[in-house]
Chains A and B, each alone.
Chain A
Amino acid sequence: MKFSKSYLLASVVGTALLSTSAFAAGVHPETGEKLADEQTFTYRVLDEHSSFDPQVNEDVDGSEIARNLFEGLYNQDNLGNLVPGVALSHTVSDDKLTYTFKLRDNAKWSDGKPVTAGDFVFAWRRLASPELASPYQWYAELMSVENADKIVKGEMKPEELGIKALNDHTLEVKLTKPLPYFASMTTHSSTFPSPSWAIEAHGTEWTKPENIVSNGAYKLVKHVPQETAIMERNSNYWDNENTIIEKVETLVINDENIALTRYLAGELDLTDAPAGQFPRLKKEYPDQAVVFPRLCSYYYTFNLSDSGLKEFKDPRVRKALSYALDRRVITDAVLQAGQFPAYTFTPAVTAGFKVPDVDYAGWTQAERDAKARELIAAAGFSKDNPLEFDLVYNTDEGHKKVAIAMTQMWKQKLGVKVNMNNMEWKTFLNERRNQNFELARGAWCGDYNEASTFLDLMNSESGYNDGRFNNSEVDDLLDDAKSAADPQPNYTRVEEILAAEMPIIPIYHYTEDYMMNTQLKNWPIKNAEQNWYAKNLYKVAK
Chain B
Amino acid sequence: MLSYILRRVAIAIPTLLLLIVISFLLMHAAPGGPFTSERPLPPAVLANIEAKYGLNQPIYVQIFNYIGGIVTEFDFGPSFKYKDRTVNDIIANGFPVTLTYGFLSFLVAVLVGGALGIAAALKQNTWLDYIAVGISIGAQVLPNFVMAPILVLIFTLWLGWLPGGGWNDGAWQNLILPVIALSTSYMASVARLTRSSMLEVLHTNFIRTAMAKGLPYRVIVFKHALKPALLPVMSYLGPAFVLMITGSVIIDMYFSTGGIGQFYVNSALNRDYAVMMGITILIGGLTILFNLIVDILYAWVDPKIRY
The reply on A201 being an interface residue by CB < 8 A is no
Assess the A152–B42 pair: CB atoms within 8 A.
yes
Assess the A226–B258 pair: CB atoms within 8 A.
yes
Assess the B258–A225 pair: CB atoms within 8 A.
yes
The reply on A489 being an interface residue by CB < 8 A is no
Give residues 410-464 of A contacting B (CB, 8 Å). 424-427, 429-431, 433, 443-444, 463-464
Of the candidates A152, A205, A253, A429, the one whose C-beta lies within 8 Å of that of B37 is A429
B12: shortest Cβ distance to chain A, in Å?
Answer: 30
Assess the B167–A227 pair: CB atoms within 8 A.
yes
A452: shortest Cβ distance to chain B, in Å?
Answer: 15
Measured between alpha carbons, how far is A57 from B266 in the docked complex, in Å?
17
The reply on A398 being an interface residue by CB < 8 A is no
The reply on A251 being an interface residue by CB < 8 A is yes
B153: shortest Cβ distance to chain A, in Å?
Answer: 7
The reply on B134 being an interface residue by CB < 8 A is no
Contact A152:B44 (CB < 8 A) given known A48-B82, A426-B36: yes
Contact A138:B42 (CB < 8 A) given known A224-B167, A426-B271: yes
The reply on B202 being an interface residue by CB < 8 A is no
Measured between alpha carbons, how far is A225 from B156 in the docked complex, in Å?
24
User: Residues 30-57 of chain B: 1 if any A CB is under 8 Å from the residue's CB, otherwise 0?
Assistant: 1111011111111011001101100000
Measured between alpha carbons, how far is A225 from B82 in the docked complex, in Å?
9
B290: shortest Cβ distance to chain A, in Å?
Answer: 25
The reply on A235 being an interface residue by CB < 8 A is no
Assess the A227–B164 pair: CB atoms within 8 A.
no
Assess the A227–B40 pair: CB atoms within 8 A.
no
Assess the B256–A429 pair: CB atoms within 8 A.
no
User: Residues 253-274 of chain B: 1 if any A CB is under 8 Å from the residue's CB, otherwise 0?
Assistant: 1101111001100100111000
User: Residues 454-476 of chain A: 1 if any B CB is under 8 Å from the residue's CB, otherwise 0?
Assistant: 00000000011000000000000
Of the candidates A152, A265, A426, the one whose C-beta lies within 8 Å of that of B31 is A426
The reply on A521 being an interface residue by CB < 8 A is no
Chain B residues whose C-beta falls within 8 Å of the C-beta of A4 in the assembled complex: none
The reply on A50 being an interface residue by CB < 8 A is yes
Assess the B48–A224 pair: CB atoms within 8 A.
no
B181: shortest Cβ distance to chain A, in Å?
Answer: 12
Chain A residues whose C-beta falls within 8 Å of the C-beta of B90 in the assembled complex: 225
User: Residues 43-62 of chain A: 1 if any B CB is under 8 Å from the residue's CB, otherwise 0?
Assistant: 00001101111001110000
User: Residues 250-268 of chain A: 1 if any B CB is under 8 Å from the residue's CB, otherwise 0?
Assistant: 0111110010011011010
Of the candidates B41, B52, B93, the one whose C-beta lies within 8 Å of that of A225 is B93
The reply on A204 being an interface residue by CB < 8 A is yes
Chain B residues whose C-beta falls within 8 Å of the C-beta of A56 in the assembled complex: 83-84
User: Residues 73-87 of chain B: 1 if any A CB is under 8 Å from the residue's CB, otherwise 0?
Assistant: 000000001111100
The reply on B232 being an interface residue by CB < 8 A is no
Chain A residues whose C-beta falls within 8 Å of the C-beta of B37 in the assembled complex: 58, 135, 429
The reply on B239 being an interface residue by CB < 8 A is no
A317: shortest Cβ distance to chain B, in Å?
Answer: 27
The reply on B94 being an interface residue by CB < 8 A is yes
Assess the B164–A133 pair: CB atoms within 8 A.
no
Chain A residues whose C-beta falls within 8 Å of the C-beta of B40 in the assembled complex: 429, 433, 463-464
Assess the B38–A51 pair: CB atoms within 8 A.
no
Assess the A227–B30 pair: CB atoms within 8 A.
no
A229: shortest Cβ distance to chain B, in Å?
Answer: 12
The reply on B166 being an interface residue by CB < 8 A is yes
The reply on B228 being an interface residue by CB < 8 A is no
B65: shortest Cβ distance to chain A, in Å?
Answer: 18
The reply on A276 being an interface residue by CB < 8 A is no
Measured between alpha carbons, how far is A52 from B85 in the docked complex, in Å?
11
The reply on B152 being an interface residue by CB < 8 A is yes
The reply on A279 being an interface residue by CB < 8 A is no
Assess the A226–B256 pair: CB atoms within 8 A.
yes
User: Residues 129-146 of chain A: 1 if any B CB is under 8 Å from the residue's CB, otherwise 0?
Assistant: 011010101100100000
Chain A residues whose C-beta falls within 8 Å of the C-beta of B257 in the assembled complex: 227
B258: shortest Cβ distance to chain A, in Å?
Answer: 4
Assess the B32–A261 pair: CB atoms within 8 A.
no
Q: Count residues on chain A whose CB falls below 8 Å from chain B CBs.
A: 52
B173: shortest Cβ distance to chain A, in Å?
Answer: 12
Among A51, A227, A427, the one with the most B-chain Cβ atoms within 10 Å of its Cβ is: A227
Measured between alpha carbons, how far is A255 from B269 in the docked complex, in Å?
15
Assess the A226–B94 pair: CB atoms within 8 A.
yes
The reply on A228 being an interface residue by CB < 8 A is yes
Measured between alpha carbons, how far is A53 from B51 in the docked complex, in Å?
20
Chain A residues whose C-beta falls within 8 Å of the C-beta of B102 in the assembled complex: none
Assess the A429–B263 pair: CB atoms within 8 A.
no
Chain A residues whose C-beta falls within 8 Å of the C-beta of B163 in the assembled complex: 265, 267
Give residues 151-169 of A contacting B (CB, 8 Å). 152-154
Of the candidates A48, A137, A154, A262, the one whose C-beta lies within 8 Å of that of B164 is A262
Of the candidates B31, B89, B153, the one whose C-beta lies within 8 Å of that of A261 is B153
B219: shortest Cβ distance to chain A, in Å?
Answer: 50
User: Residues 267-285 of chain A: 1 if any B CB is under 8 Å from the residue's CB, otherwise 0?
Assistant: 1000000000000000000
Measured between alpha carbons, how far is A538 from B254 in the docked complex, in Å?
30
Measured between alpha carbons, how far is A8 from B133 in the docked complex, in Å?
77
Chain B residues whose C-beta falls within 8 Å of the C-beta of A267 in the assembled complex: 163-166
Assess the A135–B167 pair: CB atoms within 8 A.
no
Of the candidates B45, B253, B259, B270, the one whose C-beta lies within 8 Å of that of A137 is B45
The reply on B70 being an interface residue by CB < 8 A is no
The reply on A189 being an interface residue by CB < 8 A is no
Measured between alpha carbons, how far is A425 from B32 in the docked complex, in Å?
9
Residue of B with least CB distance to A205: B84
Chain A residues whose C-beta falls within 8 Å of the C-beta of B51 in the assembled complex: 130, 133
Chain B residues whose C-beta falls within 8 Å of the C-beta of A234 in the assembled complex: none
Residue of B with least CB distance to A129: B48
Residue of B with least CB distance to A262: B164
4 more CB-based (< 8 A) A-B contacts, given A265-B156, A425-B269: A227-B256, A267-B165, A427-B30, A427-B32
Interface positions of B (Cβ within 8 A of A):
30-33, 35-42, 44-45, 48-49, 51-52, 81-85, 89-90, 93-94, 149, 152-153, 156-157, 160, 163-167, 252-254, 256-259, 262-263, 266, 269-271
15 contacts between A and B (CB under 8 A): A47-B266, A58-B37, A130-B48, A133-B45, A133-B48, A133-B49, A135-B35, A135-B49, A208-B84, A252-B256, A253-B256, A258-B254, A430-B36, A431-B31, A444-B38
Interface positions of A (Cβ within 8 A of B):
47-48, 50-53, 56-58, 130-131, 133, 135, 137-138, 141, 149, 152-154, 204-205, 207-208, 224-228, 251-255, 258, 261-262, 264-265, 267, 424-427, 429-431, 433, 443-444, 463-464
A-B interface, 8 closest residue pairs, ranked by CB to CB distance from nearest: A426-B32, A226-B258, A133-B52, A227-B258, A130-B48, A430-B32, A427-B31, A430-B31
